[in-house]
Chain A
């Protein structure tokens, strides 16, 4: 009996591990094959590895933020504008205090998280007060935040405010964005998987009406979700400023919305991985996979095989293929195991039998 349990546990562990690592492993294998075919290499220096971790942090945290509200049916277009506004305001505030001196990076990060959280509270507050669909409120909020960003900067790039030794560390030392990823992962895991707030969130996600009838308060839960999203996007804004060494404020008229779309593919991949382990771990693995893909795109771009427009097409095709896979998972599984051919043969036999039966009659 003990052996049986162990076998089951072992099998279960094997399935969970395989399911968790399947997509990232597929990414690694495909990227390795493309690299070998094209004679290029990725992550060949410590600075490129640091860039890889920094971009992974940006994608992972954006995916966390997107999935929190989208999982509850709240489509949030204002994520990008929150990131830009937080980064711009925190950069200006930090620069006015420290003038780009020692500690500017960490101070800006703290301000960016706080401003992001406030922006998230505003967005969530507006949603629960107005009680109109979040897809509409978030569009309005995006425009407001983009407008505030423009007013704060007079439309100019933010450059000197984020170009200092302290900020450079977050771009060149891989462990700093890695620590940010781990802290964000731990915080999101704790909040959503280990607290009453998280249990309420999950209950509301699964059955809103029933949850409310059992006494769960939807409004504060929704507002806190927005606050957490804002804090995450504040961090994303900071990381983007550190990585790009400037902040583009050309975001009027929904110019900030595209940030959200970078997280769609990793969100679906993360959701799939989450079925075998934990969705947050899934988002992290998906973020790492996307960052590896980004490193490949950079190398292919340098040898003239791909450019930004063809990259967008490749990413869109990947997203569509993954959605097709998710919607036809059983068929795909049958295809891999060969069971689909048995089903086809069986169906053919049934058709034949039915035909004979009609002829006999």
Chain B
């Protein structure tokens, strides 16, 4: 009798456990409610731009739509990206939006395998896009394309070409990151420099071939060029050495406003960067020596959300040939604090440019590719 009682209790426990697991599985299956769950892959969790992107998704979009965004930790390599995708897949997420560019090809393949929609909220390499554009689960990419990155660098270079009299310092950020390579090629071209004899877009190939920029290969007639890249123990010493030479300006393809703004402001050296319209950059432009900033704005990642949301709802927007979308977004450029202030106040987490009202115009069953492309490419640059 005692044994029977034990068996009964054990059976009851087993049944309760099985029931609970089934209930949990049903909840995780996303079957009964229509909540969309999106995993976001990020390689930067600390920058002001990254934080404002996150706030826009988690505080604005999530409030307006029935969506949950789950952010990864900082992803430093391909393996961690794939592990994150597998975790999202294991929890039946609907889609992945990637802001991490360590290995886009593997990301696309992992999402295809897991049956999750995959989208890129920045630019991507054309070759990779061509390879995966017909992938069933690849929604596409919206963000500055590589040619836009090149143009951004070019515009900065042209702006400074006549301002540089004796010497210029260039910060290559995290080259060979493709985005930074294209910006650098544009920047050198805009300045009128050559790289190992290469000019124009050929510089891109030359930098990739070197797996980085070799300072001695930069040639700018009659002017001295100092170059540094990355961030390590000796970076601040390198910057100190460069500042001691009193260059006419420091031109950066990214991250200089984070790493060097304090030193450059103190030394009174003008600098330019490609970053975003953040509070600290406003201060750098108002009372520091930041004089040129090409940047993205917080809600610029709104359209890719709309594309993903459509896809999850069964309305995947595709090109005329049925391939995934690929639409470029331009940077805004501020060269004065007044201009910067207009940009900064025109777009915020609470009052974004891509607000619900605007996004709703491209969310639904009848949205065509043409309408969506026009929506993304419309110039929304605020005017002073």
Contacts and interface: CB of A to CB of B under 8 A. Distances in A.
B266 A299 contact: no
A48 B235 CA distance: 12
Contact of B51 (A156, A245, A294): A156
B280 interface: yes
B215 A304 contact: yes
Interface in A237-284: 243-246, 248-250, 252-253, 255, 262
Interface in B241-266: 241-244, 258-263, 266
A154 interface: yes
B47 interface: yes
A316 interface: no
Interface string A132-175: 00000000000000000000011111011001000010000000
Contact of A168 (B47, B228, B261, B266): B266
A200 interface: no
A211 to B, nearest CB: 38
A357 interface: no
A206 interface: no
Given A155-B46, A249-B46, A253-B73, A299 B241 contact: yes
Interface string B325-365: 00000000000000000000000000000000000000000
Contact of B244 (A47, A244, A249, A304): A47
A63 interface: no
Contacts of B270: none
Interface residues of B, number: 38
A214 interface: no
B72 to A, nearest CB: 10
Contacts of B45: 155, 250
A298 interface: yes
A308 B51 contact: no
A213 B46 CA distance: 52
B238 interface: yes
Most chain A CB inside 10 Å of its own CB: which residue of B212, B266, B283: B266
B244 A302 contact: no
Given A47-B243, A159-B280, A302 B230 contact: no
Contacts of B261: 159, 163, 245
Contact of B47 (A157, A160, A244): A157
Contact of A248 (B46, B229, B230, B262): B46
A157 B281 CA distance: 14
B66 interface: no
A160 B258 CA distance: 10
Interface string B175-206: 00000000000000000000000000000000
A45 interface: yes
B91 interface: no
A52 B234 CA distance: 10
B227 A302 contact: yes
A301 B232 CA distance: 11
A307 B46 contact: no
Contacts of A295: 234, 237
A302 B258 contact: no
Nearest to A157: B46
Most chain B CB inside 10 Å of its own CB: which residue of A159, A248, A249, A250: A159
A44 interface: yes
B258 A159 contact: yes
A249 B263 CA distance: 20
Given A156-B48, A246-B259, A298 B234 contact: yes
Interface string B214-237: 111000000000111110111111
Nearest to A159: B280
A318 interface: no
A303 interface: yes
Interface in A272-330: 294-295, 297-299, 301-304, 307-308, 311
Contacts, number: 102
B18 interface: no
Contacts of A246: 258-259, 262
A156 B236 contact: no
Given A157-B258, A304-B227, A45 B244 contact: yes
Given A157-B47, A302-B226, A51 B244 contact: no
B214 A304 contact: yes
A103 B103 CA distance: 46
A308 B46 contact: no
Contacts of B216: 303-304
Given A155-B45, A245-B262, A302-B215, A55 B233 contact: yes
Nearest to A168: B266
Contacts of B233: 55, 262, 294, 297, 311
A307 B212 contact: yes
Contacts of A303: 215-216
B238 A301 contact: yes
Contact of A250 (B51, B74, B237): B74
B46 A48 contact: no
Nearest to B47: A157
A155 to B, nearest CB: 4
Given A55-B233, A248-B46, A307-B230, A44 B244 contact: yes
A324 B240 CA distance: 35
Nearest to B260: A245
Given A295-B237, A297-B234, A48 B244 contact: yes
Contacts of A255: 74
Contacts of B266: 168
A250 B74 CA distance: 7
Contacts of B259: 244-246
Contacts of A48: 237, 240-241, 244
B43 to A, nearest CB: 10
Nearest to B71: A155
B51 A163 contact: no
30 contacts: A44-B244, A45-B240, A47-B240, A48-B244, A51-B237, A156-B51, A157-B47, A157-B48, A159-B261, A160-B280, A243-B236, A244-B236, A245-B259, A246-B258, A248-B46, A250-B45, A250-B74, A253-B73, A255-B74, A295-B234, A297-B234, A297-B237, A298-B238, A299-B241, A301-B228, A302-B226, A302-B228, A304-B227, A311-B233, A311-B234
Q: Which 4 A-B pairs have the closest CB atoms?
A: A298-B237, A245-B262, A298-B234, A304-B215
Interface of B: 44-48, 51, 73-74, 212, 214-216, 226-230, 232-238, 240-244, 258-263, 266, 280, 283
Given A249-B46, A250-B46, A295-B237, 20 more contacts: A44-B244, A45-B240, A45-B244, A47-B244, A51-B236, A156-B46, A157-B48, A157-B258, A160-B283, A244-B259, A245-B236, A246-B262, A250-B45, A294-B237, A302-B226, A302-B228, A302-B238, A302-B241, A302-B242, A307-B230
